[in-house]
Each structure stands twice: as structure tokens, then as C-alpha cells.
Structure 1
């Protein structure tokens, strides 16, 4: 029988509904087809309770989802909130549909995840790309400068919104307040993909979250740094510059009509935990992360991202000066049962959440220190990884939607130079596009992709992941 070990159900209506379902299990004549039996395909379906005729009635007569979403809106200071069972991917695409019309122009940070670029495809929006500042010591992205956004909005007064990702995948934090000010000077909303920072704003040593800093909409993942099921995400918005009816329509147009109740209940439970115990749990996790950073920083050749502009729960290590290959270090970590979020030749990224403890961080640190000592070699120059959106300005030839759905042909990669890409190509993780539909393929683009592949990063979403060929618009 499922339990509520931290006593959250009184403040988490979806969690309470999920527990009540198990306490008085029905004999359902509704979907899902496993009918709560685990003797057919096993425990893989255990806990899978639907929203409809599960957490609520088929007619949603008890309103537990709306209650839970309103509690989250109050906690984050939003006017409207929706829970997503499709992750930040669904949430980003919903917001793209909500803020602008087919054919409109929007200002977009190049460090955004491929889900937002495909949101531009779905909504028919044309991006004006803005690039982040780059840390010269590591080659990794910092935030997008507010002045960069100002210049883009002056050059494109027709722009309807500004989209940025903050914090970055590697944990660097930008000037969200300055970005909000720049967007609002032109009376357009600032939308922040804050997938990696659901914990921001809930401890005095953490950065404030995007809505506290003036953003109009924020997407965050409850499953990345909070203890929710995979695919759990939250979409929050203020309605001064975002139409609540369009916001709702964008969410519903892209959401499943059979949402998983367990994902929703875990989102609600994570919100309640964050509200009640977040400061205590986050404080302990940050203290353990600080200790891990201090120890790793003491290892010759390792650079550890740190400081006020870095997420205190992100552990990003640059290996270049040690000569160790991050791919070899990753294999050692996997053998030790310690997988990390991302590893390439030069950079390791470990995600720490409020579920981590001093013991888990010590185990990871011990393994990294030992592996680097084993794999040391000649120091390498710092090269900005193509995976993190730090290549030169892309050239958009046609809107992404038009290229994505255009007639296309497959050509040898060398013959693609000068042509218009019909596909999205991104090193994964983190899934930031190096090449997007509608962009001109250049020699620099191909060098960036080859650099990522040579560094041991998987090339994702391309029709030909070997990059021997590329799909380009016909003619």
C-alpha cells in the first residue's frame, strides 16, 4: 500500500487523491487497460492511476487538478499555472503557441532547447537569434546580455516576445531582471525556459526564480531538481502581457487527453515538499555540493564552475587542463554506478537535487578524482563546445516552419554547404540546436557538428546521425 512518509497529503490534493485511490481501489471499466493488475506485465504499471476516473471522476467533478495548480500559482507568484505530463518540451511548445501568431517574429536565445525551436515550427514563428556571452576561461555559455536583447528589439520592432533559457544547461545564471526590463521597454513578454531551476527562489542562497525577477512566463521541470516523476513540468504565467485564454488554448492544443495521474500527483507532492521543507533540504544539498566543488577544485587541472552566477546545485567540471578525456571518466563512473547528466571530452555535468546528500556527493567526488588521476594526459586548449550554443550567428534563410515541412532531398554532407537545412540537428545532451530548419548550412556549421561528435557527444535528431548526409530543402 503506498504511503505518505513526509505527511504531505493534507496540502497536496492530487497526492491525496492518488493515495485514496490505492486505499479504496475500484474495479475500473475505464482506461488504462492494465486495470491496476500487476500480474500481467509486472510492476512496471504499478502506481499508474489516470486523472480521469482515477484521481478525479470522469467528469472532473472534484476539481483536484485545478486546486493543485492554483496552489502552485500562489507559491510561484503567477496568475495562471498548468501542470504538464509532457515535460518542459510540451510546456515550451504551448507557450510558443500562446504568445504570438503564425508569421510573427520573436527574439530567441540560441541556447534554448530543441523543444522551443520546434515550438516555433508549430506556431509558425520566425526567430531573431541572440547569443549568450561566453566565459573565456571555459568556453561555456553565460547568460544573454540585456543589451543584446535591446538591440534585437530595436532592429526588429515587430517582435512579439523574447524567449531565453536561464539558467543554462551547465548552470550559469544570467541577468533575468535586466532581460525583463529590456523586453518590457518594448511591451513584449519575456518567456524563460527555466527547466533546470525549479528550486530557485526557495532558499536565501539560491538565485530568485524568473517570475520574481519580472518574467512574464516561466517553464520549469518538476522532475529535474525536485522529486517528481519523469515528464513532470509546470507552466506559470502572469497575464499582463499574456492572454490567459490563449495560454490555456496553447496548453490544451499540445497536451495529452489522457494525462498520467501519478505524474500529476508527484508534481503536486513536489510542490508541497518544496513549500514546506524546501529550504532545509536545499540547504543540505547545497552544503554537500560546496564540499564537492572545493575538493574537485583542489585537483590540478580541473576547473569547477562556481560563484554567484552559477546554480549552487549544478556541478560542472572542465577537464581540459588535466588532459583527462571525459568520455573515459564517464565509463569509470558508469562502472561505479554513478551516471552523470552529461559527459564529453572536456566537460562533465552532474545534476544535484534536493534528494542528494553528503554521502552521494562524496561517492561521486571520490570516483571523479580517482578517474581523472588514472586518465591524465597533456593539457588541452579550452575550446567552446558546440553542444552549448556558442557557435557564430546562424543565418535564417526561410522561417523554420516552412523549411521543416518543405519538400526536401538528401545530399552528401559536403554538398549541403550553401543549401537550406530541412532538419534540426543537435548534440544531445543538452539538445541545443547547432543547425535548425530554415538555416543556411555553412562550413562553420559542419565544423561545429564534427567538433561535437569528435568530443564524444551523440548527434541527435538528424535523419542521418553519422552526418554523412543531410536533408536540405529541394531546389
Structure 2
């Protein structure tokens, strides 16, 4: 029988509905087809309750989803909150549809995730790219400077919105308040893909969340740093500069019509937990990360990303000074049952959430320290991350390229051609090459550098990247 160990159901209508379904154990004549039987394919379907005729009636007469979303809106100070069972990908694409139409211009940071770029394809938006600053000490991205956005808006006064990803995948935090000021001075809303920042604003040691800093809309992934099911995310917006009706329409247009109730209920439960106990739980996790940083700082040559402008909960390690190869360290961590979010030659990224404690962080630090000593070598220079170094050359809009007549050519013959596909090192899923962009020598060098660093190159039709699809 399902339980509510922290007593959240009274403040979480979707969680309460999910628990009542387990307690009543109905015999449904609706989807899903497993009909709550675990003897057919096993416990892999345990807890799978639909929203329709599950958490609520088929007609949604109970209003539990609307009530849960209203509570989330109040918590984050938004006018609109919508839950997503399709992750930040769905939420970003819904926002893209809300911002403009075919041919409209938007200013977009080159730290965007592939989901937002494909949102530009769906909505027909034309990006004006702005790139983040890069820290020469680590080779990693900082935030996008407000001055860069101001220059882009001055050059493109027709821009309908500014879209940035903040914090970055590695945990660096930009000047969101400054970006909001610049965008608003030009009459444009600021939209922040804050997928990695669901915890921001809920402890004094953490940065404020994007809406509190003046953004008009933000996306957060409840499953990244909160205790929610995979694919759980929220889109939150203020209605001053974002059309709430268009946002609702965008959410519905890109959502499944069979949303998983367990994902929705876990989002609601995570929101209730964050509201009631978030500061205390985050305090424990932040103390644990602080202790981990202190221990790791003693490892010769290792740089631990930290200080002002970095998410205190994220643990990003820069390895060149140790001579160790991050993929070899990752192999040791996998063998120890301690997988990390990302590992390449020069960088390890460990995601910490409010579920972590001094014990979990202590085990990670022990394993990382031992592995670095095992693989220690001659220090090497820091190489700027290839993902953030490419200056894109746009020839077509993303939508035009996506639907263009195309052919596959050997990568060595693609130089000067226009890509119709998205090619990105993953993680983090930030494009080196986007639909509509010219394949340049810098593009090819960046892809080579990423592969040499042990990063998987994702999304291209040819996973080996021997060929690339380009416009005829």
C-alpha cells in the first residue's frame, strides 16, 4: 500500500488523489491496459495511475490538477503555472509557441537546450544568437552578459522576446535581473530555461529564482533537483508580458492527452515538500556540499567550481591540473555504483539535490579522490569547452532548414553546406550545429574536440557522424 511518510497529502491535491486511488483499488475499464495488475509484466507498472479516470474523473470534475497548479503559481509568485509530464522539453516548446509566430525574431542565448531550439522550429521563430562569456580559468561558460543582449536588441528592435538558459549546465549563474532590465527596456519579455534551478529561492544561501529577479516566464525541472518522477517539470509565467491564453494553448498543443498521474502527483508532492520543508532539507544538502568542496579543494591540481556566480548545490570538478582523464574517473565511479551526471576528459559534473546528505556526498568524495590519485598524470592546459566557442553562421531559419530538401554527405564534404539537423554534445545537449547553420571549420573542429574529450555526440541521423544531412 502506498504511504505518505512526510504527511504531505493534505497540502497536495494530486498526491492525495494518487494515494486514494491506491487505497480504493478500483477495477478500471479505462486505460492503461495493465488494469493495475502486477502479475503480467511485474512491478514496472506499479503506481501508474492516469490523470483521467484515475487522479480525477474522465471529465476532470474534481479539479485536482487545476488546484495543484494554482498552489505552485502561488509558491513561485506566478500568474500561471502548468505541470508537464514531458519534462522541460515540453515546457520550453509550449513557451516558444506562446511568444510569436512564423518569421518572428527572438534573441536566444547559445546555452539553450535542444528542446528550446526545436521549439523555434515548431513555432517558426528566427533566432538572433548571443553567446555566454567563458571563464579562462576553467574553460566553462559564465552567464550571458546583459550588454550582449542589449546589443542584439538594438540591432533587432523587432525581437519579440529574449530567451536564456540560466543557470548553466555546469552550475554557473548569470545576471538574470540585469537581463530582465535590458529586455524590458526594449519592450520584450525575458524567458528563462531554469531547468536546473527548481531549488533556487528556497534557502538563504541560494540565488533567487528567475521570476523573483524579474523574468516573465521560467521553466523548472522538478525531477532534476527535487524529489519528483523523471519527466516532471513546470512552466511558470507572469501575464504582464506573456499571453496566458497563448501559453495555455501552447501547453495543450504539445502535451500528451494521456498524462501520467504519478508524474503529476510527484510534482505536486515535491512542491508541497519544498514549500514546507525545503529550507531545512536544502540546508542539510548545502552543508554536505560545503564539506565535499572543502575536502576536494585539498586534492592537488583539482579545481572545484564555486564562489559567487555558482549554484552552491552543484558540484562541478575541473580536472586538467590533476592530469587525470575524466572518463577514466567515471569508469571507477560507475564500478563503485556512483554514477555522475556528466564526465568528459576535463570535467565531472555531479548533481546534488535536497535528497542528498553528508553520507552520500562523503562516499562520492572518497571515490573521486581515490580515482584521481589512481589516474594522476602530468597537468595539462585548460581547453575552452568546444560547445560554447563556435560562432554560428545562420543561413536559413531553423524551420526552413528542418523541412528543406536534404541529402547525407560525408562529414569531410559538408564544409560550407547548410545543416538541416541538430548536432550537440550530450550532455548538456547544447548545439554546436543547429538546423539552418553553415558547417564551418570551427564547427568541425569543435565536434572533433568534443569527441576527443570522450563526449557523446547526439541527435545527428548518423550517430557515428561519418555523414551529415545538409540542404541540397
TM range (shorter): over 0.9
- Cα deviation digits, residues 308-365 of structure 1 (max 9, x gap): 2100110000000100000000000000000000000000000000000000000000
Q: CA deviation at 1:412?
A: 1.0
- Residue aligned with 2:54, SS: helix
Name 1:424's counterpart in structure 2: 422
CA contact (8 A) 2:161 2:190 kept: yes
Q: Does 2:54 align with 1:54?
A: yes
Q: Map of 1:67-466 to 2, 5 A cutoff?
A: 67-386=67-386, 389-466=387-464
Once residues 336 and 390 of structure 2 are traced to their aligned partners in structure 1, the CA distance between those partners, rounded to angstroms, is 38
Once residues 277 and 317 of structure 1 are traced to their aligned partners in structure 2, the CA distance between those partners, rounded to angstroms, is 29
Q: CA deviation at 1:468?
A: 1.3
Please list every run of 5 or more consecutive structure 1 residues that lacks an aligned counterpart in the other structure.
Answer: none
- Residue aligned with 2:388, SS: coil
- Residue aligned with 1:20, SS: helix
Q: CA deviation at 1:391?
A: 1.3
- Cα deviation digits, residues 20-44 of structure 1 (max 9, x gap): 0011111100000000000000000
Q: CA deviation at 1:274?
A: 0.1
Q: CA deviation at 1:464?
A: 1.3
Q: CA deviation at 1:405?
A: 1.0
Once residues 126 and 353 of structure 1 are traced to their aligned partners in structure 2, the CA distance between those partners, rounded to angstroms, is 36
Once residues 120 and 74 of structure 1 are traced to their aligned partners in structure 2, the CA distance between those partners, rounded to angstroms, is 29
Q: CA deviation at 1:414?
A: 1.4
- Residue aligned with 1:275, SS: helix
**406-415 or 229-238, larger mean C-alpha shift:** 406-415
CA contact (8 A) 2:415 2:440 kept: yes
Name 2:63's counterpart in structure 1: 63
- Cα deviation digits, residues 341-397 of structure 1 (max 9, x gap): 0000000000000000000000000000000000011111101122xx411320110
- Cα deviation digits, residues 211-241 of structure 1 (max 9, x gap): 0000000000000000000000000000001
Once residues 282 and 73 of structure 1 are traced to their aligned partners in structure 2, the CA distance between those partners, rounded to angstroms, is 21
- Residue aligned with 1:50, SS: coil
Once residues 135 and 385 of structure 1 are traced to their aligned partners in structure 2, the CA distance between those partners, rounded to angstroms, is 10
CA contact (8 A) 2:390 2:446 kept: no
Instruction: Kindly report structure 1 stretches of 4+ aligned residues shifted beyond 3 Å.
Output: none
Once residues 352 and 119 of structure 1 are traced to their aligned partners in structure 2, the CA distance between those partners, rounded to angstroms, is 28
- Residue aligned with 1:173, SS: coil
TM-score normalised to structure 2 length: 1.00
- Residue aligned with 1:29, SS: coil
Once residues 237 and 18 of structure 2 are traced to their aligned partners in structure 1, the CA distance between those partners, rounded to angstroms, is 27
Once residues 34 and 392 of structure 1 are traced to their aligned partners in structure 2, the CA distance between those partners, rounded to angstroms, is 49
Name 2:27's counterpart in structure 1: 27
- Residue aligned with 1:250, SS: helix
- Cα deviation digits, residues 7-57 of structure 1 (max 9, x gap): 000000000000000111111000000000000000000000000000000
* Number of residues of Structure 1 aligned to a counterpart in Structure 2: 472
- Residue aligned with 1:191, SS: strand
- Cα deviation digits, residues 189-225 of structure 1 (max 9, x gap): 1000000000000001100000000000000000000
Once residues 255 and 125 of structure 1 are traced to their aligned partners in structure 2, the CA distance between those partners, rounded to angstroms, is 20
Once residues 183 and 270 of structure 1 are traced to their aligned partners in structure 2, the CA distance between those partners, rounded to angstroms, is 32
- Residue aligned with 1:36, SS: coil
Q: CA deviation at 1:406?
A: 0.7
Once residues 441 and 240 of structure 1 are traced to their aligned partners in structure 2, the CA distance between those partners, rounded to angstroms, is 40
Once residues 440 and 41 of structure 1 are traced to their aligned partners in structure 2, the CA distance between those partners, rounded to angstroms, is 48
**464-473 or 180-189, larger mean C-alpha shift:** 464-473
Once residues 327 and 21 of structure 1 are traced to their aligned partners in structure 2, the CA distance between those partners, rounded to angstroms, is 45
Once residues 66 and 471 of structure 2 are traced to their aligned partners in structure 1, the CA distance between those partners, rounded to angstroms, is 44
